[in-house]
Amino acid sequence: MVSQVAGGKVFADDEMTSRERLLAAYRGEPVDRVPYWAKIVNGVWQDNQPEPFRSMPERELLDFIHADGFFFCDHGVRRTAPHVSVKRHWEGNVEFHLTHTPDGDVREAWGREPVGGTMHPVEFPIKTVEDIKRYRWLFTDVTYRVDAAGLADGRRKCEWVGQRGVNVTAWGTSPLMDLVQHYVGPVNFHLMLNDHGEKVHELLELMHADNVRHVQAIAKHTPSDIVVSVENTSTTLISPEQFDKYCHRHLCDYGEAIEAASKMHELHMCGHTNALLERIDTIPAASIEAYTSPTLGNTRLVDGRTRAPSKTLIGGTNVNVWLWAVERIEQYITDELAACEDNRRIVVTTAGVAPPGCSAETFREVGQWLHDAEIARR
């Protein structure tokens, strides 16, 4: 439907290719104009669009909306936990997992949302102090190997992307946020941390040691430019003091491992992070992704540029903004950019996954406007 612009450029008259523009933004270097991306290559947005957009391949869809390219690639690293086995079965839209360990079984359940098919825990596996002991086995004697076919797929994807964008791979979550989000739940976790602190701390450190080896393997082998720690950090789930005590030092270790392999570390933090910006700035990382403005988040571009100046901000809006009329969206972005000294270290995106109610035509109009707008070239 849409012919691609030759040479990896979004527009034929661009000074930079999409890859050059994004890498410059990640490095804090001058850009020809502010980079632009929308999270539309996913089931949440695409499955709820009319044809041809519902079935359009990712590169063609990004060409249509005049956006830069973030492309996810397989890193080829596979994890094996030898002391556990997992049985899975579905009941309706819920998938149940029964994990067998040498100290007994733990059960969890994940529900699939009807719109987009994303999965979220509806029953957490760690419910009692005995479950903490059982869950230790998931992080004991773990091995990592490289799947040759998966790695080859990742390399082919990177070659295919070329100058049309940057390549990204994601690995997982630091222990505290992992337990809060996926294993224990926010309420029970804080109770367990208070009542069984020694056992929780032991599990945290076991998970962290395993994570370090995981990250080292991925950073060594991935063909991608960027390795993402999928934190989903929010001070609505943990306190700034907990972030400082646990997450900060763990993320520093992961960032050091990623940078030692000459990759860029990205922090996926999509929640309320305003109170953490100064501490985030000291983590070895190039960027904060899903950087979300009020009312869904609580950070504006100017907050990050002034209080976490070493970090590139991938976001700057929130999904509600993209349900407005085009003129209002453009004015919002204008005001957010104008509050900053310049456009370095900024990539304008939807922050979270694009809302299905925003059409491809709207994203295209914004992409054209960012190409033309003087504010995007400061």
d(Cα 339, Cα 303) in Å, to the nearest integer? 9
- 289: nearest Cα among 343, 225, 351, 215: 351
pLDDT beyond 70 at 320: yes
pLDDT beyond 80 at 47: yes
d(Cα 339, Cα 138) in Å, to the nearest integer? 47
pLDDT value, residue 107: 97
Q: What rounded mean pLDDT belongs to the chain?
A: 96
pLDDT value, residue 114: 82
**What is the pLDDT averaged over residues 245-260?**
98
Phi, psi of 331 (to 5 degrees): -70, -40
pLDDT value, residue 117: 79
pLDDT beyond 80 at 12: yes
Grouping H, G, I as helix, E, B as strand and the rest as coil, residue 353 is: coil
pLDDT value, residue 268: 98
pLDDT value, residue 3: 42
Pairing mode of beta strands 94-101, 104-112: antiparallel
d(Cα 26, Cα 22) in Å, to the nearest integer? 6
pLDDT beyond 70 at 110: yes
Residues 251, 267 contacting (CB under 8 angstroms): yes
Q: Which helix (H) or strand (E) holds 190?
A: helix 186-195
pLDDT beyond 50 at 18: yes
Percentage, residues of the chain above pLDDT 90: 96
Decide: pTM greater than 0.75: yes
pLDDT value, residue 6: 67
Phi, psi of 121 (to 5 degrees): -70, 135
Of 115 and 171, which is predicted with more confidence? 171
Residues 124, 178 contacting (CB under 8 angstroms): no
One-letter amino acid of 301: L
- Give the distance, in angstroms, between the CA of residue 61 and the centroid of all CA atoms in the same chain: 20
Percentage, residues of the chain above pLDDT 70: 98
pLDDT value, residue 5: 65
Rg over CA atoms, the chain: 21
Confidence of residue 207 (pLDDT cuts 50, 70, 90): very high
pLDDT beyond 70 at 4: no
pLDDT beyond 80 at 72: yes
pLDDT value, residue 65: 98
Give the length of the chain. 378
d(Cα 185, Cα 8) in Å, to the nearest integer? 44
pLDDT value, residue 294: 97
Confidence of residue 118 (pLDDT cuts 50, 70, 90): confident
| Residue bearing tokens 């100290």 | 103
pLDDT value, residue 2: 42
- pLDDT tens for each residue of 271-280: 999 999 999 9
pLDDT beyond 90 at 153: yes
- The CATH architecture that domain 6-82+124-377 belongs to is Alpha-Beta Barrel (3.20)
pLDDT beyond 50 at 1: no
- pLDDT tens for each residue of 354-374: 999 999 999 999 999 999 999
**What is the pLDDT averaged over residues 72-79?**
97
Pairing mode of beta strands 226-230, 166-172: parallel
pLDDT value, residue 344: 95
Confidence of residue 191 (pLDDT cuts 50, 70, 90): very high
Grouping H, G, I as helix, E, B as strand and the rest as coil, residue 253 is: helix
d(Cα 267, Cα 170) in Å, to the nearest integer? 10
